[in-house]
Amino acid sequence: MPLLEVTDLRTYYYTLRGVVRAVDGVSFTLDRGETLGIAGESGCGKSTLAWSILRLVPPPGRIVGGSIKIDGMDITKMSEAELRRKVRWRKVSMIFQGAMNAFNPVLKVGDQVIEPLLLHTDMTREEAWAKAEEMVQHVGLPPEILERYPHELSGGQKQRLVIAMAILLEPDIVIADEPTTALDVVIQAQILNLMKRLYREKKMSIILITHDLSVIAELAEKTAIMYAGKIVEYGPSDAVFENPLHPYTQALLKAVPRLRGPKERLIYIPGSPPDLRNPPRGCRFYPRCEKRFEPCDREEPPMVEAEKGHFVACWLYARR
Amino acid sequence: MGEKVLDVRDLRVWFPVRRGLIETITGRARLYVRAVDGVSFDIRRRETFCFVGESGCGKTTTGKALLRLVPITGGSALFRPSKEVAEELEKRGVTIDEDGMVDIFKLNEKQFHPVRRDIQMVYQDPFGSLNPRFRVRDILEEPLIVHKIGETKSERLEMVSRALEMVKLTPVSEFIDRYPHQLSGGQRQRVAIARAIIMNPVLVVADEPVSMLDVSIRAEILEVFNLLKERLGLSFIYITHDLSTARYVCDRIAVMYLGKIVEIGEADDVIQEPLHPYTEALVAAIPEPDPRNRLKFRDIKIKGEVPSPVNIPPGCRFHPRCILYEEAIKRGEEWAKLCTKAEPPLVEVKKGHYAACFRHEAVRAAVTAKAAGGS
Ligand SMILES: Nc1ncnc2c1ncn2[C@@H]1O[C@H](COP(=O)(O)OP(=O)(O)OP(=O)(O)O)[C@@H](O)[C@H]1O
Ligand SMILES: Nc1ncnc2c1ncn2[C@@H]1O[C@H](COP(=O)(O)OP(=O)(O)O)[C@@H](O)[C@H]1O
Ligand code: SF4
Ligand code: SF4
Ligand SMILES: [Mg+2]
Ligand SMILES: [Mg+2]
């Protein structure tokens, strides 16, 4: 049984101007000790997917379909109390996008780091503080740092604290939503080194969400490519990066500037992703796809296993 | 690449730190954020010159200084104005040297006004930099009106169309009447570029022009820069924290650290054979879309984080983070003692490739020569 099994998940935002189908039929599994990277352009639904797995989708958003099983328990059916007691922070924790900028400026960072412990365990404040001191050292910071205020810390230090918070209760799964996006390259590399080390030492499963394919390649064993609310390709990272199947993945990889190796001409994908209130019928990539053909604008391509463990949703690979 | 269009020497931009009551009463010396602290470089026609470095190292401030958007603390900037602007300047009593250059830091505000035609800026945020209530045609026409270019409306419209063609927003008729919200991120950034080039400037300063765009459309904008450089003979200053995009557009790269340039050279040389330990760390830190890197730790030879530009370390300002220095001291190497004593000057170490680090004999020689001359 996989540790996490997401099946046909749908999470929509019911806005005044229409229904935003941010996650629209997403399925994947995650095994224990595995790292999965989820890549896609801004607005394709990555953060919404992450929030869904913790059942923390902000209103007017709602999970409207599908299931999310963690250790076989469907969390879409759980009560809020049960979620808080059994799942959040204990089983699944999250490094929220931009969390390093969300520390309360008037509280010591330590008081904010121990908050999940006070909320999700029966530890006393002293016990929680001691636990936090231990975890802070795991992420390469001195324990005294907990006594400081947010403005006294650098961006890199704050992001390390956010990571320390996510691993406080040694959860099975850590979801990291753009954990390095706002950081300088040197600090990004240090944070990625840290995540690699934690992943090895703690044998946690990591879901790494980012728009940056290079960051995924640094860490993830498996890669899922998301486009307009759907996963369009999924497989071992080696296969997805070296033998991309979906025309979107192929184009995206040719658009990434590389620092080393021959300087090939970069390509770009004309146009922009569709409005998720009114996505195109058929394949959602159709308006931007170079390889589109007869069935693409009418019928949605099914996800097929094109080679072992390597899935793709594109009519080029599906039999009708 | 052609003649020099800009020659900046020893540019300094220091921002005073606001003093609290206690400092004022006790009369403690005024402190400064030394955002740009003695920067020299030159730019040639048809050249894209790049500034890279971590956040806060002074890239944007350097760019803004050229447009006089920040107060200049010191230094000079010889600029070669276009014919039209040169005439305007002479009308305002500015003398242009025999070489056709003028120090734009010495001009007063009124004299500087025409120079704004020749030096344009493109900002990072294609969403915030365009007026949402203006159509594309109005956005592009505005600077023409401000600088009184084009006699009639139809003449200006002609120029607007040509600018849109230049950035390949074609067919023009399809885009000219749209509002910014009706454009994609890449298209908006093209409009911002069209607005920058419509007055046929000499130099365009582009500050992180693609960092807010999705990867799938970044190349679209990088291509526009390359095209404009070739077709119009423009010079660009491309500011970025991302060396890998720099590689696709830049002729030369300057690496900045804490308000100073620590290395300058041809783009490929800087990336492939960096001469400064800071550049080496930057290059080593950049991830690539290659899953073979998975779970390999990246060896980045740098300690700690950037110190505050209020307290710049003595000697080489990089020394508290420099592992090369640390190791050399441990091994008892004599040269490394200089690192905390003197500021390494930017010296040509290889042909056309400059570095400010005492690991290079040429840099040490420059300092000892100066010390000998001074005593
Ligand atoms: N108006 C100002 N007043 C005081 N300090 C300033 C001002 N503008 C910039 N600074 C400081 O000057 C330094 C250089 O800033 P600058 O914006 O030039 O950096 P940058 O290299 O462009 O960084 P980034 O990559 O984050 O854009 C920073 O320490 C910044 O906080
Ligand atoms: N609170 C919200 N209300 C309405 N729409 C939202 C909200 N949050 C996100 N969306 C929309 O849902 C889609 C997916 O957003 P998000 O999950 O944040 O994408 P990503 O993380 O991939 O950038 C986008 O169209 C976005 O505008
Ligand atoms: S299904 Fe058709 S339009 Fe969609 S990616 Fe495949 S070829 Fe392109
Ligand atoms: S001068 Fe010394 S401290 Fe500075 S970069 Fe070179 S070796 Fe390091
Ligand atoms: Mg997001
Ligand atoms: Mg900047």
For the CA of B124, the closest atom of ligand 1 is: 27
Nearest CA distance, B97 vs chain A (angstrom): 41
Closest residue of chain B to A184, computed from CA coordinates: B54
Among chain B, residues having any CB pair with chain A shorter than 8 Å are: 54-55, 184-186, 214-220, 222-223, 241-245, 247-248, 271, 281-295, 297-298, 300, 302, 305-306
Distance B145 CA to ligand 5 centre (A): 41
Pocket flag, ligand 1, residue B32 (CB < 6 Å)? no
Name the closest-CA residue to atom 6, ligand 4.
Answer: B357
Question: Where are the domains positioned within chain A?
Answer: 33-46+80-91+171-221+231-312
Which of A35, A96, A70 lies closest to A221 in space, CA to CA?
A35
What class has domain A33-46+80-91+171-221+231-312? Answer: alpha beta
Neighbours of B151 (CB within 10 A): 8
**Which of A139-170 are b and which e, b meaning 16 or more Cβ less than 10 Å from the residue's Cβ?**
bbbeeebbeeebeebbbbbbbbbbbbbbbbbe
Residue B336: band (very low, low, confident or very high) from pLDDT cuts 50, 70, 90: very high
**CA–CA separation, A235 vs A245, rounded Å?**
10
Mutation site for A-interface testing, chosen from B294, B302, B322 by largest number of A Cβ within 10 Å: B294
ipTM score here?
0.86
Dihedral over alpha carbons A294, A286, B216, A183 (to 10 degrees): -140
CA atoms within 13 A on the CB side of A184: 22
Residues in chain A: 320
pLDDT of B20 reads: 65
pLDDT of B47 reads: 96
The secondary structure of residue B233, as a DSSP letter, is -
Residues 205-224 of A with CB under 8 A from B: 211-221, 223
Closest residue of chain B to A156, computed from CA coordinates: B305
**CA–CA separation, B282 vs B301, rounded Å?**
9
Using most ligand atoms within 8 A of CB, pick from B339, B341, B346, B361 the residue to mutate for ligand 4: B339
pLDDT of B220 reads: 85
Pocket flag, ligand 1, residue B259 (CB < 6 Å)? no
Contact at CB, B214 and A241, closer than 8 angstroms: no
Contact at CB, B298 and A193, closer than 8 angstroms: yes
> Residue B45: is it exposed, middle or buried by C-beta count within 10 angstroms (0-12/13-18/19+)?
middle
Taking residues B322-336, what's their average pLDDT? 96
The secondary structure of residue B360, as a DSSP letter, is S
**Contact yes or no for B214/A42 (Cβ under 8 A):** yes
Pocket flag, ligand 1, residue B274 (CB < 6 Å)? no
**CA–CA separation, B91 vs B82, rounded Å?**
14
Torsional class of A147: left (φ above 0), alpha (ψ -120 to 50), beta (otherwise):
alpha
Residue A245 tokens, joined: 């199947």
Closest residue of chain A to B294, computed from CA coordinates: A218
pLDDT of A202 reads: 82
- The 10s digit of each residue's pLDDT in B74-101 is 999 999 999 999 999 999 999 999 999 9
Residue B361: band (very low, low, confident or very high) from pLDDT cuts 50, 70, 90: very high
The secondary structure of residue B220, as a DSSP letter, is H
Query: What distance, in Å, lies between the first and last C-alpha atoms of chain A?
Result: 31
- Residue B183: what residue type? L
For tokens 């921002």, name the residue: B15
Element (H, E) at B90: helix B83-91
**Contact yes or no for A232/A46 (Cβ under 8 A):** no
**CA–CA separation, B205 vs B202, rounded Å?**
10
**CA–CA separation, A169 vs B131, rounded Å?**
48
**Which of A243-257 are b and which e, b meaning 16 or more Cβ less than 10 Å from the residue's Cβ?**
ebbbbbbbbbbbbbb
**Contact yes or no for B39/B8 (Cβ under 8 A):** yes
| Ligand with an atom nearest the CA of residue A99 | 5
Calculate the alpha carbon distances from B327 to B18, B317, B336 in Å.
Answer: 39, 17, 9
Q: Which residues of A touch B216 (CB under 8 A)?
A: 41, 251-252, 255, 268-269
pLDDT of B19 reads: 65
Nearest CA distance, A256 vs chain B (angstrom): 6
Quote the percentage of chain B above a pLDDT of 70. 96
Dihedral over alpha carbons A125, A126, A128, A132 (to 10 degrees): 130
**CA–CA separation, B265 vs B346, rounded Å?**
11
Pocket flag, ligand 1, residue B55 (CB < 6 Å)? yes
- Residue B329: what residue type? I
> Residue B372: is it exposed, middle or buried by C-beta count within 10 angstroms (0-12/13-18/19+)?
exposed
Contact at CB, A252 and B222, closer than 8 angstroms: no
Question: Where are the domains positioned within chain B?
Answer: 4-267, 274-304+314-374
What is the CA angle B78-B84-B85, rounded to 5? Answer: 35
Please tell me the pTM assigned to this model.
Answer: 0.89
pLDDT of B375 reads: 46
Q: Which residues of B touch A268 (CB under 8 A)?
A: 186, 216-220, 223
Strands B235-240 and B32-44, by their bridges, are: unpaired
Contacts (Cβ under 8 Å, ≥6 apart) of B129: B122, B123, B192
Q: Which residues of A touch B290 (CB under 8 A)?
A: 214, 217, 241
- Residue A44: what residue type? C
**Residue A234, helix vs strand vs coil:** strand
Contacts (Cβ under 8 Å, ≥6 apart) of B370: B345
Q: What is the DSSP string of A26-68?
A: EEEEE-TT-EEEEE--TTSSHHHHHHHHTT-PPTTEEEEEEEE
Calculate the alpha carbon distances from A260 to B219, B244, B250, B287 in Å.
Answer: 17, 8, 15, 10
Closest residue of chain B to A215, computed from CA coordinates: B287
**Residue A33 sits at the chain B interface (C-beta within 8 Å):** no
**Which of A96-106 are b and which e, b meaning 16 or more Cβ less than 10 Å from the residue's Cβ?**
bbebbeebeee
Q: State CA B306 to chain mean position distance.
A: 19
- The 10s digit of each residue's pLDDT in B159-172 is 999 999 988 888 89
Worst-scoring range by mean pLDDT, A32-41, B15-24, B292-301? B15-24
Residue B24: band (very low, low, confident or very high) from pLDDT cuts 50, 70, 90: low
**Contact yes or no for B288/A217 (Cβ under 8 A):** yes
Q: Which residues of B touch A223 (CB under 8 A)?
A: 291
Closest residue of chain B to A219, computed from CA coordinates: B294
| Ligand with an atom nearest the CA of residue A41 | 2
Contact at CB, A196 and B295, closer than 8 angstroms: yes
What is the CA angle A308-A309-A314, rounded to 5? Answer: 90
pLDDT of B25 reads: 65
Q: Which residues of B touch A221 (CB under 8 A)?
A: 294
| Ligand with an atom nearest the CA of residue B343 | 4
Q: Which residues of A touch B250 (CB under 8 A)?
A: none
**Residue A287 sits at the chain B interface (C-beta within 8 Å):** no
Calculate the alpha carbon distances from A126 to A111, A122, A197 in Å.
Answer: 11, 11, 28
Distance B296 CA to ligand 5 centre (A): 27
Distance B31 CA to ligand 1 centre (A): 16
- The 10s digit of each residue's pLDDT in B98-141 is 999 999 999 999 999 999 999 999 988 877 788 999 999 999 99
Contacts (Cβ under 8 Å, ≥6 apart) of B254: B41, B49, B50, B51, B52, B261, B263, B264
Give per-10-residue mean pLDDT for chain A (320 aa).
95 93 96 94 92 94 96 94 89 90 92 91 93 90 92 86 90 93 85 87 91 93 96 97 97 92 86 88 94 93 95 92
Using most ligand atoms within 8 A of CB, pick from A11, A16, A42, A47 the residue to mutate for ligand 2: A47
Q: Which residues of B touch A192 (CB under 8 A)?
A: 287, 298
User: CATH topology for B4-267?
Assistant: Rossmann fold (3.40.50)
Q: State CA A27 to chain mean position distance.
A: 14
Contact at CB, B184 and A186, closer than 8 angstroms: no
Which of B138, B140, B150 lies closest to B84 in space, CA to CA?
B150
> Residue B95: is it exposed, middle or buried by C-beta count within 10 angstroms (0-12/13-18/19+)?
exposed
Cis omega before residue A60 (within 30°)?
yes
Neighbours of B113 (CB within 10 A): 16
**Residue A23, helix vs strand vs coil:** strand
| Sheet containing B252-257: order of strands | B119-122, B203-207, B235-240, B48-52, B252-257, B260-266, B353-355, B347-350
